[in-house]
DNA sequence: TTAATCCCTCTAGTCACTGGAGGTTCAAGG
DNA sequence: CCTTGAACCTCCAGTGACTAGAGGGATTAA
């Protein structure tokens, strides 16, 4: 069973060492085993969890969403009603994000293909991102 | 030509009043006109810009990405090479996000439909979000 | 014109990190 | 074994992006 020092974990997960300690401090990551000399040693599972956190954060999920996603992910054994509701809420959030991003994507593509040389149509990136009506969830 | 007080702007854009002042302070929003009594008055264009900012932030774009998106959006008159490159970079970022979110969506759907009562398959939400290989851009 | 509401600036607090000081532990080479 | 340099430890202070509050002035509806 593989063991990682905090530096190795940092490398493998792409998360800075102080950030790992911070996550431990706020309870996002469980406190790992320690060596005789008080240094942290992590296993595979904790690496996965940290990657999960890093990736979710990079995608813009709030810390709260993250905690509940982790809760969902923890319930691999058949969701209770509680977890089910969480999953539903996240599905809605995810759908909104995908819709927004897809529209933005369309605009970027149009910009790149359409307006390349001199003459241009309207760039609607601003409208795409500023039109709040098209955004199902409040924020 | 319509004028908004900072409070009205806040309502229409869904951004808190102190946040608007903060955005002005850091130069994301240009300083608006003032009344005789020194109160801020905004126009349509600034409302659009603020909505843009709010929406982009809600979707998890970093402040830096945001500034450059604004730069792109500003160049509605035929992109120079510079802006073109920015747009390309954002397209890549947007594509990555869409891909990640789509996979996460699939997992959430599978959880909700598949594992509802008792017997369950594996929940792979963690794997979906923790698999860094499938993420084209570094973060 | 006066009262309620909104706005002003300034300062301080929060959250999620990020970095540094000062000291300890680990592991590879001699 | 023993050393030595990189990596680790704790603690504390700083940053970015807000957020809230105090103390006081402006606007507007009655």
In a domain, B47, yes or no: yes
In a domain, B108, yes or no: no
Q: Which nucleotide is nearest to B8 (CA to C1')?
A: C6
Task: Check residue B36 and give its pLDDT.
Answer: 94
Residue with the larger pLDDT of the pair A12 and B103: A12
**CB proximity under 8 Å: B 100-139 to A:** 100-102, 104-105, 108-109, 111-112, 115-120, 122-123, 125-127, 129-132, 135, 138-139
- Per the listing, tokens 């040389």 go with A117
φ and ψ of A9, to 5 deg: -60, -45
3-state class of B62 per DSSP?
A: coil
Select from B112, B114, B122, B123 the least CA-distant residue to A81. B112
Residue with the larger pLDDT of the pair A76 and A44: A44
CA dihedral angle for residue A102, residue A62, residue A53, residue A60, rounded to 10 degrees: 30
Low-confidence spans in chain B with pLDDT less than 70: 1, 73-83, 113-139
CATH number at residue B6: 1.10.1660.10
Question: Does the CB of A81 sit below 7 A from strand C?
Answer: no
Residue with the larger pLDDT of the pair A92 and B6: B6
In a domain, B137, yes or no: no
For A15-34, write each residue's pLDDT tens digit.
999 999 999 999 999 999 99
> Would you mind telling me the total number of residues written for chain A in this entry?
139
Q: What percent of chain A is modeled with pLDDT above 90?
A: 33
A123 φψ region: left (φ > 0), alpha (ψ -120 to 50), beta (else): beta
The total number of structural domains that make up chain A: 1
Compute the half-sphere exposure of residue B108: CA atoms within 13 Å on the CB side of its CA.
24
In a domain, B132, yes or no: no
**CB proximity under 8 Å: B 26-45 to A:** none
Task: Check residue A71 and give its pLDDT.
Answer: 77
Q: How confident is the model at residue A58 (pLDDT cuts 50, 70, 90)?
A: confident
Task: Check residue B127 and give its pLDDT.
Answer: 56
Select from B125, B112, B129 the least CA-distant residue to A79. B112
Task: Check residue A64 and give its pLDDT.
Answer: 84
3-state class of B98 per DSSP?
A: helix
Residue with the larger pLDDT of the pair B48 and A131: B48
The Cα B28–Cα B46 span in angstroms is 11
3-state class of A14 per DSSP?
A: coil
In a domain, B2, yes or no: yes
A59 reaches B (C-beta below 8 A): yes
In a domain, A39, yes or no: yes
- Is there a contact between B70 and B49 (Cβ–Cβ < 8 Å)? yes
Instruction: Identify all chain B residues contacting A105, using CB atoms and an 8 Å cutoff.
Output: 91, 94-95, 98
């Amino acid at each position: 069973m593989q063991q990682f020092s905090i530096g190795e974990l940092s490398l493998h997960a792409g998360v800075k060492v102080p950030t790992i300690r911070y996550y431990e401090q706020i309870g996002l990551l469980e406190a790992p085993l320690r060596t005789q000399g008080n240094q942290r040693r992590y296993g595979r599972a904790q690496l996965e969890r940290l990657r999960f956190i890093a990736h979710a954060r990079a995608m813009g999920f709030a810390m709260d969403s993250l905690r509940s996603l982790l809760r969902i992910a923890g319930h691999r054994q058949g969701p209770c009603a509680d977890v089910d509701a969480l999953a539903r809420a996240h599905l809605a959030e995810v759908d909104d994000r995908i819709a927004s991003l897809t529209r933005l994507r369309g605009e970027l593509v149009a910009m790149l293909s359409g307006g390349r040389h001199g003459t241009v149509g309207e760039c609607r990136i601003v409208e795409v991102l500023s039109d709040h009506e098209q955004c199902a969830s409040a924020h």
